[in-house]
Structure 1
């Protein structure tokens, strides 16, 4: 599927992101055994009642922005619905209100909850049963939003901004993927590349949170190293040749580089630093990783550290004018910071001197006050003695 033709402009986290691997496994086992199927409904009116059921509408969010209407019910022996993370195969067609077809996919595969179709469809997938055909009315909020969707390499819109869409979707198959399904190099690279390309699309649309999710999902397939205690599979058992391992490594480093750049965009500098270090541990002279680490250090207010890294990049790529421009900007910024630091130190020194002077003044002040009190005491004592003498004289004479 063309990455331009299945993208959303506003994905909202309306699903539970918890790990559902155990639930998926149980559901797959129940589907295989036939356990857990709901009892067959008894229709009193036969064919007429079945047709009425097929026309039922479901206002999923209660605000008319996402409405599902069943066109064809699933067979009676088909009861399982997909859940987050499972691989589904679907046919779907998307149209504008004027009837223009903007998407048409047959036997399209995607993982539920991985933003590989517009959000409106991603939210409806867990409500479908195998064999079911439904019509889905999607508000632009859960479609392509205010950005719309342009034709690849053109300025003309395929989906105009704020356009309402109507889809007809059929769920063909659900698959819970065991480790055996993910052991081959071809599958790992196929899924990893698909997630990476989808993430690239969201990055171009400045939907950085969604892009970060997809880059991380790409790493789930491209990172063949074990060591994650929460991992669903034991990656040490992967059957990969040396050339396959090298190819996955190169793909993985590209994803880490892109992930770091996306994290920089949302000022997640600590996370971006971890991502870029993954690249530099394997390729110490990777100019993109060095440049992005310089951007990260600048964001963390380490201008001198950023200058050192960009100087190294300039040595590796002497013809890169963008690096030269950034380096000149950082030199100016460093001089400005040095000037500001000097001014700050001078102000601090001046304040310290004033504090010393004020302290000395306060220490002298009590001495003056004490001398005045002593003089006042002497005067009062003399006056009292005089008054007492006069009183004694009058008493006697």
Structure 2
């Protein structure tokens, strides 16, 4: 018994997931996650908050609430429903990411970014963006234990990757201004990041800010002179700026 998990609390569960043929598609004796953070399949995200510690529940999940249309190689086939047997082992307050050591923040940030990539590959761009933002929350800000030089550099690299991924997800959601803001945040950390420069140049061009776009794209070309994409973007801008003959 005991209270159900509250928003932001961390849970530990024992999970078994059975396929229709009786095979096991999921087995984890102690899976730890925060409901609502997008780190697990939807069946667990939605089901576990209804449980009390010590309770055993069964959730029959259609494929959108399990591993989606693609499934999960090699053990979950495409469009496979799963029957989950879940035991709620423990509920506790979730840790403040900024109170964690740098190595743990890096691991947590990487896990959440990879989960975002999982959602992105399946076309769930809102869930991907949520995971990327949670990754940034783990990676950003001051920490009680200052990182060493190598950890600080890795934190910076992870932030830039995550911001670039945020920009990609925002674009998929049709939010160009938010995508541009994510690119600019990445460039404040790493001014010569080629991916952020290219996307920023493309977004500026789409807004008709051709002079700014050309400057950004020329800088991207200096960093990657062989890029066909950048050459194409600059050629398109040049044609647009040329007076009609």
| Structure 1 length-normalised TM | 0.56
Runs of 5+ in structure 2 lacking a partner?
A: none
CA distances 1:276-316 after superposition (whole Å, capped 9, x unpaired): 11121222221111011012213323344333322221111
Aligned to 1:314: 221
Q: Does structure 1 conserve the Cα–Cα contact (< 8 Å) formed by 2:221 and 2:227? A: yes
1:258 to 165, 172, 185: 165
2:111 to 194, 202, 207: 194
Counterparts of 1:1-397 in structure 2, within 5 Å, are: 78-145=1-68, 147-151=69-73, 158-161=76-79, 163-179=80-96, 182-224=99-141, 235=142, 238-243=144-149, 244-335=151-242, 339=244
Q: Which of structure 1's runs of 4+ aligned residues deviate more than 6 A?
A: none
Q: Tell me, what secondary structure is at the counterpart of 1:169?
A: strand
Q: Tell me, what secondary structure is at the counterpart of 1:284?
A: coil
Judged with a 3 Å threshold, the aligned counterparts in structure 2 of structure 1 residues 105 and 178 are, in CA distance, closer, same or farther, namely closer
Q: Does structure 2 conserve the Cα–Cα contact (< 8 Å) formed by 1:269 and 1:299? A: no
Higher RCO (CA < 8 A, seq sep 6+) = 2
Please say which structure displays the higher CA radius of gyration: 1
How far apart are 1:134 and its partner, in Å? 1.5
Judged with a 3 Å threshold, the aligned counterparts in structure 2 of structure 1 residues 150 and 121 are, in CA distance, closer, same or farther, namely closer
Moved more, 293-302 or 281-290: 293-302
CA distance in 2, matches of 1:174, 1:168: 18
Q: Does structure 1 conserve the Cα–Cα contact (< 8 Å) formed by 2:9 and 2:35? A: yes
How far apart are 1:135 and its partner, in Å? 1.2
CA distance in 1, matches of 2:95, 2:173: 35
How far apart are 1:180 and its partner, in Å? 9.0
CA distances 1:175-217 after superposition (whole Å, capped 9, x unpaired): 2035499331122222211111100111122211111111111
CA distance in 2, matches of 1:250, 1:324: 26
| Structure 2 length-normalised TM | 0.88
Q: Does structure 1 conserve the Cα–Cα contact (< 8 Å) formed by 2:98 and 2:144? A: no
Runs of 5+ in structure 1 lacking a partner?
A: 1-77, 225-234, 343-397
Q: Does structure 2 conserve the Cα–Cα contact (< 8 Å) formed by 1:88 and 1:173? A: yes
Q: Does structure 2 conserve the Cα–Cα contact (< 8 Å) formed by 1:137 and 1:167? A: yes
Judged with a 3 Å threshold, the aligned counterparts in structure 2 of structure 1 residues 142 and 150 are, in CA distance, closer, same or farther, namely closer
CA distances 1:358-386 after superposition (whole Å, capped 9, x unpaired): xxxxxxxxxxxxxxxxxxxxxxxxxxxxx
